[in-house]
Structure 1
Amino acid sequence: MRHAPVRPSPERAPRGVNGESPAVRFPDMKRMKRRTGTGRTERSYPPLMLAAAVSVSLIALIPLCFVVGYSASIGPTEAARLVFRPRTGELLWNTVRLAAGCVLLCAVIGVSAAWLVERSALPGLRVWNVLLVAPLAIPAFVNSFGWVSLMPGATGYGGALLIVTLSYFPLVYLPVAAALRGLDPALEESAHALGHSPWRTFLRVVLPQLRPALLGGSLLISLHLLAEFGALQMLRFPTFTTAIYDQYQSTFNGPAANMLAGVLVVLCLLLLLAELRLRGRARYARLGAGSARPSPRTRLGRGTAPVLLGLGVLIALALGVPLGSLGYWLTMGTSSAFPVGMLVTTTLTSVGLGAAGAILTTVIALPVAWLCVRRPGRLSVILERSTYFGNALPGIVVALALVTIAIRLTPALYQTTALLLTAYAILFLPRTMVNVRSALAQAPPVLEDVAHALGAGRSATFRRVTLRLIAPGLGAGTALVFIAIVTELTATLLLAPIGTHTLATQFWSHSDSIAYAASAPYAALMVLISAPATYLLTREARKGARA
């Protein structure tokens, strides 16, 4: 005799948190994975987070809208005449080959140095880790000042490529070293067990997992080079940025300068699309930190001496030359070159602006980065990509855009600190965006789901879970922005309230007149102020290195 299957009554069905059915609280994960590939659905955007992200993106796009609107106002015929000329081709060739060469060299140096510090038995790992990050404390234009003041022949493409590489390779070293520390050593051990050689294991297993960090650092370097002015002006290597500055300062040719800025916008867009394409849709977060044991370190054997020599030469070029030059000019200067009152005032101003701007930039980067990682989709990608355009434009273009907007729409903001901080946020938002996005990508989203399941709201989950997980990334991003603001030049020259002087502007006023001894104290103070922020960047890295 056949019996009908026994079905549990609704009142006896197991209940979820707060009385809901598990089917309601926890939907079909397979269906969600078919939608996004990550177990996350991209349908819902938290209203407050979305509104904040849209506001940040609109502010970041102000310089772009200024350039596009101004270019459209002069007409297509005049725009074509200003763009399609031999001078533009020369500037394009200089800019592209400098960016390509610097990114390639920084990638090789940064990845190699990161592997040596994190995976080899190199003597003095903690010391090398600090020294490899220390060049971030020396602004690129101070580095150029050090080389040119001692060796006037260090100009042109060769000198520019050398100096910008020595200044920016830590931007690749830092994220790659952090990614190496977070990798699960079991993956590499499995590759070895399958017969792969150490070199093949690195290429097939390790390097693909380093791709987000490597691409993020390379993108930062490329965007910064598009907007670099002080270093290249000292090295007499013409690029779009130096040409734009010359147009505004010497001939006041607004149309020509804005059309050159439009070419920079196109280059920035190409870089963003290339980075997005190469990064792909892979996810790298995992629930735990992997094996509790550290990754095995490779003994270098006979290669120890050559490796130490190579690292020593790198540090000597990146730190020894600029610091030695500053020491030389400080000793050569007279007491009149040390105006104590001006030095104290400019130092306090630079530190105050740097701290305020760094905190503001990191805070406004949070909603955009969160949507990009936690709610992937076309809208979130567009919002995140839009924040990078300001960094590709010279500071003078960003400053002129904000001045024009302020005069026409909000005159009360003109010549105020608030407008200057807005310029800093637009210029350096990508620096903290890359770090926050990377930290969020490695933070397991399942922990946020658990917090929601336990009854925590969105804001409570963000404060108690998400922020704690991404705290190292926030710290690194804030430190990078602080260093950038303390050493920012062109936007500060135009937007700083009347009577406001920073270390960078005072340094430039003296170095522009070849008063090397008078400018050396301001450069030395910039290095000293940037040093603690640079040390903050290395503190987390030192935990992964063994002396």
Structure 2
Amino acid sequence: MARAPRARRPPVILGAASIVVALAVVVPLVYLAIRAGDGGWEAFRATLWRRRTLDLTIGSLTLTASVTAICVVVGVAAAWLVARTNLAGRGVWRIVFALPLAVPSYVAAWSWIVFKPDLAGRPGATLVLASISFPYVYLPVLAALQRTDGALDEVAASLGRSPFGVFRSVTLREIGVAASGGALLVALYTMSEFGAVSIMRYESLTQTIYRSYRASFDRRPPAVLGCLLVAIMLVPVILAARVARRSPVAKVGSGVVRTRRRVDLGKAQVPIQLLLVAVMGITFGVPAWNLLRWVERGRSVVDWSELASAFGTTLWVAGLAAAATVAVAIPLGILLARHPGPLSTSLSTAAYVSHALPGIVVALSLVFFGIRFATPLYQRTPMLIAAYVVLFLSLAIAAIHNSIAQAPPGLEDVASSLGRSQLGVWRTVTLRLAAPGVAAGALLVFIAVAKELPATLLLRPIEMDTLATRLWTHTDAASYAAAAPYATAIVAVATVPTALLTWSRLGGGR
């Protein structure tokens, strides 16, 4: 194993492309700064130091910490069971564990409220968000475990370490970067979440920002809260970056293919299987059961041509957004993996922090920009795609960066020594190394866009409806039977790329 390369001066073209991309990403941050400063420093401080602001901050941090901790435990445990034990049905569980990623938060929350009306507040919000977010940890950790050959685990076991001792002393070191990256995505997602916390009637910073924007023309108070949200999320972003810098990430070769010794679960096999069935029943079973029940009731009221149109539109915009986001993420991913330093850290931090912003903040910032500087693009598809890029760029960057960082930079040096230009090296070597990450990033963005709601509501062209916006229209009017087919279609659209993400990236049925 080799550590990440020392900071080298990035090529001018790579640095310039990354800076241009980052300038677009920081538009929401600039918008927040402008709006928050409208009333001067005294007004900013007065809003920031309210007792209610403190309560909202504590509530949001508590929710985020709880959800992230649960996701790390469940995600790491699930990945370890699939990759390192003789768990029965590993090939099936490999895909099943990722399925909650296909369920929109507002659909999961609505299903649980219908199933158990008294489940509200922090317990309900924690349950819903943890149940659909743990795949963000499970997927990268499973990939990390399957890339290693397990030799260190076997050596530790041969020295008398128990399975738990091997896991604590060896395995955790191997998955540190993957687990911290997944935990960061969970934390960002939880802090920016609006749908689930609203349905569960739990007050958070994001929910308050959204309600304040919708209820008042005064943009300053929610902008101040948005600045606070950005400041809070800088902490986990910086911590995750430090973990990545200190951990070995590059591998000299693929190693020798051999049969890996798996931990024998023995008598624990049956109780573990029952526990896993219970976990998946909570995370995926309850939403699926409630959706099917309401679909049966709503078959006679659904407009099938309207559903088909929204289905096609969702596929179209999600595909466009996935392609655009990956294209934008490639230079930043290369810069972060091959040229670590202040520039790459600052640019990636801006992308990750933007992911933590509520969709309505990103949408309003682009409305602000579009009306003043890009009027022809206002309420056009390009501006909607730009919003998706800003919101989900970090998903693609993380996937591409991990793929490139796991290959030694010496491969690119060899290509350069053979006379290839810098662009030739990137095209023939770097992008090939990044191919798994590009595919994974595109699928993650596709899934996220298919479920996205606030930014789509504000920025979509007139008469354009996605599955999410049609679902919102029906649920806002309390037409749950008519809404159920749209919710089911969203889950169906997201389930296929989720299965592909798990199966193709992680090596099929090995």
Q: TM-score range by the shorter chain?
A: over 0.9
Q: Which amino acid aligns with 1:493?
A: L
Q: Distance in 1 between matches of 2:114 and 2:407?
A: 46
- The yes-or-no answer on 1:192 pairing with 2:171 is no
Deviation at 1:42, TM superposition (A): 3.1
Q: Distance in 1 between matches of 2:354 and 2:454?
A: 14
Given the two structures, how large is their TM-score scaled by the length of structure 1?
0.90
**Cα gap change, 1:477/1:281 in structure 2, threshold over 3 Å: closer, same or farther?**
same
- Please state how far the C-alpha of 1:55 moved relative to its aligned partner: 0.8
Task: Check conservation: 2:402, 2:437, Cα contact below 8 A.
Answer: yes
The yes-or-no answer on 1:258 pairing with 2:223 is yes
Counterpart Cα distance in 2 of 1:305 and 1:542: 26
Correspondence 1:237-248 to 2 at 5 A? 237-248=202-213
1:107 pairs with one of 43, 55, 72: 72
**2:488 aligned residue:** 524
* 1:401-422 superposed Cα distances (whole Å, 9 cap, x missing partner): 1111111112111111111110
Q: Does 1:470 align with 2:434?
A: yes
1:507 aligns with 2:497: no
Residue 390 (structure 1) aligned with residue 354 (structure 2): yes
* Aligned residues of 2:4 and 2:245 also touching (Cα < 8 A): no
Q: 1:119 to 1:198 in 2, by over 3 A?
A: same
Tell which deviates more after alignment, 189-198 or 339-348.
189-198
Q: Which residue of 1 aligns with 2:290?
A: 325
Q: Distance in 2 between matches of 1:351 and 1:334?
A: 23
* Paired residue type of 2:286: V
Contact 1:212 1:438 (C-alpha < 8 Å) held by counterparts: no
Indicate the residue corresponding to 2:39 in structure 1.
74
TM, length-normalised to structure 2 = 0.97
CA offset at residue 90 of structure 1?
1.7
Aligned equivalents of 2:6, 2:130: Cα separation in 1: 41
2:340 corresponding residue in structure 1: 376
1:163/1:38 Cα in 2 relative to 1: closer, same or farther (>3 Å)? closer
Tell me which residue corresponds to 1:138. 103
The 1:234/1:447 distance shift into structure 2, 3 A limit, reads same
Within 1, Cα distance between the matches of 2:267 and 2:7? Answer: 53
**Mapped partners of 1:463, 1:187: distance in 2:** 35
Written as runs of structure 1 = structure 2, the 5 A alignment for 1:202-241 is 202-241=167-206
Return the offset for 1:544: 6.3
**Counterpart AA for 1:262:** C
* Residue identity matched to 1:222: A
Tell me, in whole angstroms, the C-alpha distance in 1 between the residues paired with 2:241 and 2:252.
25
Distance 2:201 2:3 in 1: 49
> Structure 2 counterpart of 1:477, which letter?
G
Aligned to 2:462: 498
Structure 2 residue identity aligned to 1:462: W
Q: CA deviation at 1:139?
A: 1.0
CA drift at 1:334: 4.8
Larger Cα-atom Rg: 1
Structure 1 residue 540, shift from structure 2 partner = 3.0
Deviates more, 1:39-48 or 1:227-236: 39-48
1:105 and 1:332 map into 2 onto residues whose CA distance is: 35
User: Cα deviation per residue 1:183-232 (whole Å; 9 max; x = unaligned)?
Assistant: 13222233234443332222111101201100110100111111111111
2:323 maps to 359
1:155 and 2:120 are equivalent in the alignment: yes
Partner SS for 2:203: coil
The gaps in structure 1 that reach 5 residues or longer are 1-36
Alpha-carbon distance in 1 for matches of 2:64, 2:270:
32
Distance 1:538 1:176, change over 3 A: same
| Structure 2 residue 497 is the aligned partner of structure 1 residue 533 | yes
Change (3 A) 1:448 1:294: farther
- CA–CA distance in 2 between the matches of 1:233 and 1:83? 22
Distance 1:285 1:508 in 2: 45
Which amino acid is 1:347 matched to?
F
Query: Conserved in 1, the CA contact under 8 Å of 2:37 and 2:220?
Result: no
Q: SS in structure 1 opposite 2:246?
A: coil
The one-letter code sitting in structure 2 at the alignment partner of 1:77 is: E
Residues 379 and 506 from structure 1, CA distance in 2 versus in 1: closer, same or farther, beyond 3 angstroms? same
Change (3 A) 1:401 1:542: closer
What is the aligned partner in structure 1 of residue 389 from structure 2?
A: 425
Number of aligned residues: 509
Partner residue in 2 for 1:310: 275
Match for residue 442 of structure 1? 406
Of 226, 232, 245, 1:280 maps to 245
Question: Does the aligned pair in 1 maintain the 2:298–2:485 contact within 8 Å?
Answer: no
Taking only aligned residues, the RMSD between alpha carbons, in angstroms, comes to: 1.6
